[in-house]
């Protein structure tokens, strides 16, 4: 029972780490696309792709 709980806690921390990493990376890339293209909609879409894509692939 204790071993399973440890795995669950590790998995939760791994998910939180990837959430933070993907949100920071997504924000940086979306701001870069906003500066380059000037399109708010496209930059929001890029952020969502990074954020949701990171959750799906992890």
* pLDDT confidence of residue 42: 87
Give pLDDT tens digits for 32-49: 888 998 888 888 888 888
Give pLDDT tens digits for 9-29: 898 998 888 888 888 888 898
* pLDDT confidence of residue 22: 85
* pLDDT confidence of residue 48: 86
What number of other Cβ atoms are within 10 A of residue 43's Cβ?
A: 21
Domain that residue 35 falls in: 2-57
Report if pTM > 0.75: no
User: How many domains are contained in the chain?
Assistant: 1
Q: How many CA atoms lie within 13 A of 12 on its CB side?
A: 6
């Amino acid at each position: 029972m204790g071993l399973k709980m440890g795995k669950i806690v590790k998995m939760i921390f791994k998910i939180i780490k990837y959430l933070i990493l993907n949100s920071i990376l997504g924000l940086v890339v979306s701001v870069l696309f906003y500066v380059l293209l000037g399109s708010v909609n496209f930059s929001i879409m890029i952020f969502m792709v990074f954020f949701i894509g990171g959750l799906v692939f992890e």
